[in-house]
Structure 1
Amino acid sequence: MSLQRRQRVWLFDLDDTLHDASHASMPGINRGMTDYVAKYLDLSFEDASALRAQYWRRYGATLLGLIRHHGVKASHFLEETHQLPGLEAQLRMSAHDRAVLKRLPGRKYILTNAPRAYALRVLNALKLIDFFDGVITIDEMQMFGHLRPKPDARMLRHVAAQLKVPPSRCVLVEDTLQHQKAAHGIGMKGIWMRRYLHEARKSVNNRMEVGVHPCPAPSYVYARIRSLKTLLAL
Structure 2
Amino acid sequence: MRTSTSRRRRPHIAGGKPVWLFDLDNTLHRASHAIFPAINHGMTQYIIDALQVDIEEANRLRTGYTQRYGAALLGLTRHHALDAHDFLKVAHTFPDLGSMIRHERGVARLVAALPGRKIVLTNAPETYARAVLAELRIERLFERVIAIEHMRDRRQWRAKPDHAMLRKAMRDAHVSLNDAILVEDTRSHLKNYRRLGIRTVWITGHLSRKPHADGVPTRLPGTGRPHYVDRSIRSLKSLRPGVRLVRRTERKPGQ
TM-score, normalization by structure 1:
0.91
Q: Does 1:208 align with 2:218?
A: no
Distance 1:162-1:210 versus aligned 2 partners, 3 A rule: farther
| Unmatched runs of 5 consecutive residues or more in structure 1 | none
Following the alignment from structure 1 to structure 2, what is the Cα–Cα distance between the partners of residues 70 and 138?
18
The 5-angstrom pairing of residues 91-106 of structure 1 reads 91-106=101-116
The residue type equivalent to 2:114 in the other structure is L
The corresponding residue for 2:197 is 187
Per-residue deviation, 1:64: 0.8
The corresponding residue for 1:231 is 239
| Unmatched runs of 5 consecutive residues or more in structure 2 | 1-14, 245-255
SS in 2 for 1:18: coil
Following the alignment from structure 1 to structure 2, what is the Cα–Cα distance between the partners of residues 79 and 151?
22
Deviations 1:75-128, CA, capped at 9 Å, x for gaps: 111012112221112212112332211110000011111111111111111111
Asked whether the 8 Å contact 2:204–2:233 carries over to 1, the reply is yes
The corresponding residue for 1:221 is 229
Answer 1 or 2: which has greater helix percent.
Answer: 1
The 5-angstrom pairing of residues 24-35 of structure 1 reads 24-35=34-45
Asked whether the 8 Å contact 2:63–2:72 carries over to 1, the reply is yes
Number of aligned positions between the proteins:
227
Following the alignment from structure 1 to structure 2, what is the Cα–Cα distance between the partners of residues 107 and 60?
26
RMSD over equivalenced CA pairs, Å: 1.7
Asked whether the 8 Å contact 2:184–2:202 carries over to 1, the reply is yes
Comparing 224-233 with 166-175, greater Cα deviation is found at: 224-233
Asked whether the 8 Å contact 1:92–1:126 carries over to 2, the reply is no
The 5-angstrom pairing of residues 23-172 of structure 1 reads 23-172=33-182
Identity %: 41
The residue type equivalent to 2:26 in the other structure is D
Which structure has the greater CA radius of gyration? 2
Asked whether the 8 Å contact 2:107–2:136 carries over to 1, the reply is no
Per-residue deviation, 1:6: 4.8
TM-score, normalization by structure 2:
0.84
Per-residue deviation, 1:210: 4.9
Comparing 168-177 with 96-105, greater Cα deviation is found at: 96-105
Following the alignment from structure 2 to structure 1, what is the Cα–Cα distance between the partners of residues 143 and 61?
37
The corresponding residue for 2:12 is none
